[in-house]
Amino acid sequence: MAIISIASTKGGVGKTSLAFSLAKDLGYRYATNDMSVALNKYRNARYYPNKIPLYPDTVYDFGGFESPHVEEILLQSDIILLPTTNDANSIMKSLVFIKKFREKTILVFANMLENPNDAVAIREKIHEHFPGMAFTYLRRTKLLKNALESGMSASELFESNNHTQHLYRQAYGEYHKILKLFTTDGEYFSK
């Protein structure tokens, strides 16, 4: 049982891509207040343009969170995943977000890294302001995009055949680290 919210004030940082794959891999509901292609790709995907209900075992994909309903769900979530790209604007917006929700468990997710080594510098920038903040990353990869387009989770796509296992090996390793946090014995797993 967990409520996972993926949120950011910045668009195009990978919320929908990650939310869809995580939801499908965890067997969770996917709920969003934002029209997204994920809605046509997953049986357990639901669109709530207005009042979005609170459910257990759900990954919420929030495009913008100005509404009090969205903020309420963020406050009720077990964890908020905060995707961030490697640019000053995105990192600054993430710092503002963390400050606003500092009472919550937040996992900063540096996404679309040209070089996975960039993760170190981004993490340091976050830790300058919020020491010890949980942090994870994913390189620039077609894994999530191709998974979503084909209606498969990242794990399903990766495991499809030898070619996909070869093609996505490194990116999948990074994705799997994130997925594992929510599965049995993972850091954010709760019964």
The reply to whether 141 sits near ligand ADP by the rule CB under 6 A is: yes
Interaction partner, residue 7 (ligand ADP, Mg ion, none; CB < 5-8 Å by kind): none
- Establish if 176 lies at the interface with ligand ADP (CB under 6 A): no
Interface with ligand ADP, residue 168, by CB under 6 A = no
Strands lying side by side in the sheet with 79-84: 45-47, 29-32, 58-63, 3-8, 79-84, 106-113, 134-139
* Alpha carbon distance 42, 150 (integer Å): 11
- The distance of closest approach from Cβ of residue 14 to Mg ion in the complex, given in angstroms and rounded to an integer, is 8
Contact 86, 114 (CB under 8 A): yes
Helix H or strand E encompassing 138: strand 134-139
- To Mg ion, the closest distance from the beta carbon of 129 in angstroms equals 26
Give the residue with the Cβ less far from ligand ADP, 37 or 54. Answer: 37
C-beta separation of 158 from 143 below 8 A: yes
Q: Does 173 bind ligand ADP (CB under 6 A)?
A: no
Q: What DSSP line would sit under 145-173, residue for residue?
A: HHHHHHT--HHHHHTT-HHHHHHTHHHHH
16 makes contact with Mg ion (CB under 5 A): yes
104 binds ligand ADP (CB under 6 A): no
Confirm or reject binding of residue 84 to ligand ADP (CB under 6 A): no
- H-helix or E-strand spanning residue 91: helix 88-100
Figure out which of the listed residues 2, 138, 154, 157 binds ligand ADP, where binding follows CB under 6 A: 138
Contacting positions for Mg ion (CB under 5 A): 15-16
Contacting positions for ligand ADP (CB under 6 A): 11-17, 111-112, 138, 140-141, 144-145
